[in-house]
Structure 1
Amino acid sequence: MLRELEKAEQKWGGSNKLIDQWLKNRRKLLVHYCQIAGLPPYSKSEKSLPSFEHVKSFCDLLVDYVSEGHFEVYDRVVNACSEYGESSKTLAQQVLPKITPTTNAALDFNDKYAETQDDLVLYQLDKDLSELAHNMETRFELEDELLEVLHRKHSEHTQ
């Protein structure tokens, strides 16, 4: 997922402040994910459960990222796409409902882990992180489709 983020940053970085901020927040989320999942290069040498505070911090970033998409970025991307014609707006509007299940998965993860103080719940973390990663990868691909539509249409209009 980090490699895909690097590609997105190279492709769309610097084209829009909102997109730059969004990609920056995606990076923070992914780095934090790797840390609590114990993935290289962010893993510790000993294998242990992350602290409750670290998991809560990840949950906060996760909810912030998901919320930013739904309440700030997506509407602005759809509006920008509408400036480039009905086909762009329609395509953007078709992508958005596909993102909803990934939002639900992120919120379910947050509900389970954000306030827990139960060590037994943390024993389920690896499995739940794996499922979350699958959902977030899908989400990032769909978000990148939105960005590609916007970028492609913007490029056509500036040439």
Structure 2
Amino acid sequence: MVQAWLDERRQLIVLLCAIQGLRNYSEEKPQPVHQQVQAFCQLLMDYISAGYFEIYRELVNEARSFRRDNPELTRHILARLDSSTDEALAFNAEFEKPERCQQKIHELPDRISHLMETLEERFSLEDQLILSIHQQEPPRLQAVMH
């Protein structure tokens, strides 16, 4: 399940890079931009939902079964993930629908750049959560806070 989720993350990154690489956002015929943004928004919401409703729970359960449960670390990471979730939801609300995307097309390059930074941090936190369970020596909270 985690591997399928990480594969979905790779697809998300590919779509994000493709959108970032698009030029002429303000063309009169931005339909390809809309289609790619819509596909990205759908995958982004699927990825975020799977994390919260399936993967994080599974990882916490694995941590308990491997006796690597570190509730303080887990709470800290999950709390930091909330801000990137809020950013992803806001992006989706702004650009999911073609007509909204059309209205805000001039904002898309900056929003994509900001979202990329936010997702980069999110992916790092998720990786830390996974590694805290599956590596020999679980990281201490101080190492994750930096």
Name whichever of 26-35 and 112-121 sits farther off: 112-121
Q: Residue 115 of structure 1 corresponds to which residue in structure 2?
A: 97
1:84, distance to aligned residue in structure 2 (A): 3.1
8 Å contact kept, 2:69–2:133 = no
- 1:136 is aligned, of 106, 119, 141, to 119
Ranges in structure 1 where 5+ consecutive residues have no aligned partner: 1-17
In structure 2, distance between residues paired with 1:114 and 1:149: 34
8 Å contact kept, 1:78–1:93 = no
1:86, distance to aligned residue in structure 2 (A): 6.5
8 Å contact kept, 2:81–2:125 = yes
Aligned partner of 1:97: which letter?
Answer: A
Spell out the pairing of 1:1-159 with structure 2 (5 A cutoff): 18-38=1-21, 47-49=23-25, 50-85=32-67, 87-118=69-100, 119-153=102-136
8 Å contact kept, 1:59–1:110 = yes
In structure 1, distance between residues paired with 2:62 and 2:137: 9
Aligned partner of 2:88: which letter?
Answer: A
TM-score by length of 2: 0.81
| Count of residues paired in the alignment | 131
1:81, distance to aligned residue in structure 2 (A): 0.8
- Equivalent pairs: percent with the same residue? 32
**Which whole-Å deviations, capped at 9, do the CAs of 1:53-91 have from their partners, x for residues lacking one?**
211111001111111100110011011112233753442
In structure 1, distance between residues paired with 2:114 and 2:14: 17
In structure 2, distance between residues paired with 1:37 and 1:146: 28
Which aligned segments of 4 or more residues in structure 1 are displaced greater than 6 angstroms?
none
8 Å contact kept, 1:102–1:136 = yes
8 Å contact kept, 1:82–1:89 = no
In structure 2, distance between residues paired with 1:139 and 1:147: 12
Higher relative contact order (CA 8 A, sep 6+): 2
TM-score by length of 1: 0.75
8 Å contact kept, 1:29–1:61 = yes
